[in-house]
Structure 1
Amino acid sequence: MADIIKVSRNIDNAPTSPLSTQSVAFSHYNNISAQLPVDPETGTIVAGGIKIQVSQCLENIKAIVEGIAHGMYDVVRINVYLKDITDIDAVDEVYSRFFRSYFPTRTTLAIAALPLTDALVQMDAVISNGEGTYPQDPCDLIKIVRNTEAAPVHALATQSVAFSHYNHISAQLPLNPKTGVIVTGGAKEQTAQCLRNIKTIMEGIDVPFDDIVKVNIHIRDLADMDAINEAYNTFFPDSSIARTLGYMPARSVVVASGLPMDALVQIDATVSHGDGTPPQAIEDRHGIVIRASNTEAAPVTPISTQTVAFSHYNNISAQLPINPKLGAVVACGAKEQAEQCLHNIKAIVESVGHVMDDVVKVNIQLTDMADLEAVNEVYSRFFHKELPARTVIGVTAIAMGAVVQMDAIVSNGEGTPPQH
């Protein structure tokens, strides 16, 4: 179904930005831009501390969701970005008021900076879109919400929420599920426990580990990456087929200023779900295939695949501002590095027969939030139609000394076989 359309929408009673769209729907998902604690009437940050700001972020998400004829019960995933991880208890207190029927999957981390100086928190979301986008026929798809006691259980987050052809896995801390405490050891041991918890969740819903299409790794110290990758490579590829193909999921690494429970590592995942959710027909899980692809026109790494397509989405690995011909970060400022990141994403997108206007969501990391203006100067040149949903965060470090890193989610109208 190559003519599925992307639906980009803004509503008046939530904050708008000239450089992003509030909600971008494609097929059975809506991607919601990061919401700062901005009062849409005044255009300024609300006063009153962390609880008031958390409430405003969620009110803005709620306004967008309801403005496109959905409800907060349609939210499948929330990402919470805090300036101070010790505010997590205050977040939880407010957060629980906005979800009555169930809690979506959730990832929470502290970051170095947010786009507005006085903001203490920012949130983005993914919501289900059962009606699909034209010319798909609306159907009453259901969410499948599951927890297992064999992995850590969180009172305010569901371990796995499946909708249509994707499963979303909440961020997993390096907790021993039997004791509820962080495992002993360093980043290597903690990474292994995070991945073990994800694998346990997936086994609990009868999904093989190599059905993961995207992994997000949050770390406290970039110097731990070698140890993290050492553990990571013992989990991927998992099956004999994946090993033969050399399949690695798409991946992004974020250096967090703080993580819950003072962990060194936290990992979440997006998983293919070939069965779909009722009333979609149950297909062979490997009938809808994962299509992993690399191009020499963008930087290639053995630790991840540039783009992993499944069903109606492509998941793009985080792109550093590396010149693919030289294999080195471009030696310029934030503007030039942002342009290189976008060129790399564009090369990947075009290598799989798509264009930049098929992008539905972009995530941007900056080591200096003051560089955002320079990034924005080049950003809009890469898109000709409505801009994607977007999230921008500040981090203390990016690999290879870069000052910018970006990843993306891209619509995939043709689907992956056996869809048409």
Structure 2
Amino acid sequence: MSGYNAVLARNTDKAAKSIGPYSQTVAFSHYNNLSAQLPIDPQTGKLVAGGIKEQAGQCFKNIKAIVESIDHSMDDIVRVTIFLKNIADADAVNQVYASFFPDYVPVLTTVAVAALPMDALVQVEALVSNGVGTIPNAPQAGDLIKIVKNTESAPLSSLSAQAVAFSHYNNLSAQLPIDPATGKLVAGGVKEQARQCLKNIKVILESIDVPVDDIVKITVFLKNLSDTEAVNKVYSEFFPDSAIARAVAYVPARTVVEVSALPQDALVQFEAVVSHGDGTPPQLVEDRHGIVIKANNTGGAPKDALSTQTVAFSHYNHIAGQLPLDPKTADVVAGGVKEQAGQCLANIKAIVESIDHALADVVKVNIFLKNIEDIGAVDEVYTTFFPGGVPARRTVGVSALPGNALVQIEAVVANAEGTPPEA
């Protein structure tokens, strides 16, 4: 197995020590997955003094320290996700953000959530390119390049690129329901807003010659979870998109959460991760379907008609957000947050094992909690599934979860053998 990519977890004393059982950064193949960074001073282990600007600055300083500790730079970041306690702080945080990206801007997602660990005002997460790859003692294509794309047919922002491709993935900025012609929210309710978000995504993809069915993962951020059914009706207009996808009923992996607020007071925002068959130079141009999307469902975990449990492309598997549902009854399991967290992780384990992988292949875990105070109880359960604390992680408190659940967990899994044609 020495010729295969390896999961590589790393930590540095120059950034804040993780407050839970997780690593600061976990690399696999051509990406580094960073844990979401809180505004913790690495010398004291406490939140920095000051307000939102000081806290945002510390989050980015921690990210910069981690990135530089693995011999990368801030320009290698392809995606940034900002979680705010108060959406009104967005402008102040954006000023800080811009100071760390003076020339190049990655794709960006900004949402306000109900709560953050340590009662922080902001938490920032980053995804970083990894040109050398992670095959032991065998650097891969160290001159791989990022490809940044924008189109005037979708909303433009000076703070973010619309799409940033690296290796075999395109990362899109989260799309708000903004009419690109006016720069304002579209008229109407949540259906019209959801349709505009997805139109924007489709236009961006068409501008880079990528079909909608190349999306492997969608995250839906809703202002009101009660709007889920209305959004799902619109969602079904876009997925599946092609005759080929309809024939196999392909839909991306998906996570749906309620947030406390979105930029411009929007009702909905969509984030997408897209496969990229052609790769980025100097990878050889392949037939777009030469590396294939592999979607999989198992009876050992709950099924959803609008979401595939796991979608693999190239060297990653993307697992849909797992609720604490008993796969036999489709009901939320009895008990409290420990029982629910255990069921979420049991569902992830069943999915991972159904595709001949193990939990040791998980590189990133995202936890959404109804009550942020439950983080300690969840960690007790979490460590029984991840005793080494290797995956990078993000934890946020959300306003509500489907099924009135207390917790929802999603994961990104390494895929050493890749998807055909194996490389």
Gaps of 5+ in 2: none
Identify which of 89, 92, 95 aligns with 2:91. 89
CA distance in 2, matches of 1:5, 1:386: 16
Aligned to 1:3: 4
Paired residues for 1:18-417 under 5 Å? 18-117=20-119, 119-135=120-136, 136-139=138-141, 140-417=143-420
Instruction: Report the AA paired with residue 295 of structure 1.
Output: T
Is 1:293–1:305's contact at 8 Å kept on the other side of the alignment?
A: yes
State the secondary structure of the residue aligned to 1:318: strand
TM-score normalised by structure 2 residue count: 0.98
- Can you list the C-alpha shifts for 1:211-246, whole angstroms capped at 9, x where unaligned? 000001110001000000000000000000000000
CA distance in 1, matches of 2:149, 2:329: 46
Computed over aligned residues only, the root mean square deviation of the Cα atoms, in angstroms, reads 1.0
Instruction: Report the AA paired with residue 79 of structure 1.
Output: T
- Can you list the C-alpha shifts for 1:320-369, whole angstroms capped at 9, x where unaligned? 00000111001210011000000000000000000001000000001111
* 1:253 shift after superposition: 1.0
State the secondary structure of the residue aligned to 1:63: helix
Is 1:357–1:386's contact at 8 Å kept on the other side of the alignment?
A: no
- Can you list the C-alpha shifts for 1:85-116, whole angstroms capped at 9, x where unaligned? 01010011111110133100000000000011
Is 1:8–1:386's contact at 8 Å kept on the other side of the alignment?
A: no
* 1:137 shift after superposition: 2.9
Instruction: Report the AA paired with residue 137 of structure 1.
Output: P
CA distance in 2, matches of 1:80, 1:102: 17
Count of matched residue pairs = 419
Instruction: Report the AA paired with residue 11 of structure 1.
Output: T
* 1:4 shift after superposition: 1.4
* 1:318 shift after superposition: 0.2
CA distance in 2, matches of 1:216, 1:369: 20
Is 1:167–1:271's contact at 8 Å kept on the other side of the alignment?
A: yes
Instruction: Report the AA paired with residue 228 of structure 1.
Output: V
Is 2:25–2:34's contact at 8 Å kept on the other side of the alignment?
A: yes
CA distance in 2, matches of 1:283, 1:174: 34
CA distance in 2, matches of 1:13, 1:314: 31
State the secondary structure of the residue aligned to 1:47: coil
Gaps of 5+ in 1: none
Deviation above 6 Å: which 4+ runs of structure 1? none
* 1:267 shift after superposition: 0.6
Instruction: Report the AA paired with residue 36 of structure 1.
Output: L
CA distance in 2, matches of 1:231, 1:312: 31
CA distance in 2, matches of 1:175, 1:233: 20
Instruction: Report the AA paired with residue 131 of structure 1.
Output: V
TM-score normalised by structure 1 residue count: 0.98
Is 2:17–2:45's contact at 8 Å kept on the other side of the alignment?
A: no
- Can you list the C-alpha shifts for 1:225-274, whole angstroms capped at 9, x where unaligned? 00000000000000000000000000111211000000000011000000
CA distance in 2, matches of 1:74, 1:161: 11
CA distance in 2, matches of 1:344, 1:51: 39
CA distance in 1, matches of 2:75, 2:102: 8
Is 2:257–2:402's contact at 8 Å kept on the other side of the alignment?
A: no
State the secondary structure of the residue aligned to 2:174: strand
